[in-house]
Amino acid sequence: MTELASSSRPLVASLDQVPVQDMALFLDLDGTLVEIAATPKAVVVPDDLVADLSAASKALGGALAIVSGRDLAEVDRLLAPLCLPAAGEHGAVIRLPNGKRDDVEAKVPDDWLAALFQLQQARPGVMIERKAHSVVAHFRNVPLEEELVRRTATEIVARDPEHFEILHGKMVIEILPRNVSKGHAVQRFMRFAPFRGRIPVFVGDDVTDEDGFEAAVEFGGVGLHVAESFGGQPQEVRRWLKRLAQG
């Protein structure tokens, strides 16, 4: 059985101590369920992932949610025809178990977007991904541009640091509204059935998932880091998910 690794001290020492019927499962997508690709649109969803997610959700009584940095529409496109409880843009958009949506009001200003798209044009390889409430600068294909991307994002956010902040991920920098986090998404889900009263398990691979780990621990659960608990391999997460679905 996979051992636990969390950003805070867990209240349970092994997943063996968390019966499936008592678990609330929160899953990151890129780098956790699917391998990271050169661009977000290049991600490949394994043939059996959707079926395994559906089966795992059924085994958990519906207490399974995707908590991703992706736009919620992109999550749904990748996992179609599934429409699971989910949080997009690190919790800026949350689809609750009853289907209702919680959206933050703040959106990245147009002039900030224009400045970032100018950077993309000036520095081939830098890719700007616009979302409903946030914007991401990818430099995976041009790592030497990291300093420039960071400096540009920092200068932009300095225009309104009260309402926006920078989130650093794997070869990406994201500008998003303050008080948005995967931890907030977990806390929101845990207020509603079928998540309420269960033991949360959050699986993620990036520093952007740390808030999710911490929220899970706050509710008496655990955070599993892909690097520490699954050898850094999303395929191992998928195998674990398949076993979970099968009981």
**What is the tens place of the pLDDT at every residue in 80-135?**
999 999 999 999 999 999 999 999 989 999 999 999 999 999 999 999 999 889 99
| Phi, psi values for residue 43, rounded to 5° | -60, 140
* Domains by residue range for the chain, with CATH: 15-104+180-246 (3.40.50.1000), 110-177 (3.30.70.1020)
Please state, in angstroms and rounded to a whole number, the distance separating the CA atoms of residues 129 and 188.
26
What one-letter code names the amino acid at 181?
S
Q: DSSP secondary structure string, 148-216?
A: HHHHHHHHHHTT-TTTEEEEEETTEEEEEETT--HHHHHHHHTTSTTTTTSEEEEEE-SGGGHHHHHHH
pLDDT in tens, 25-44: 999 999 999 999 888 889 99
Residue located via tokens 């430099």: 139
Residue 16 a catalytic site member = no
pLDDT in tens, 65-85: 999 999 999 999 999 999 999
Catalytic residue among 16, 22, 28, 71: 28
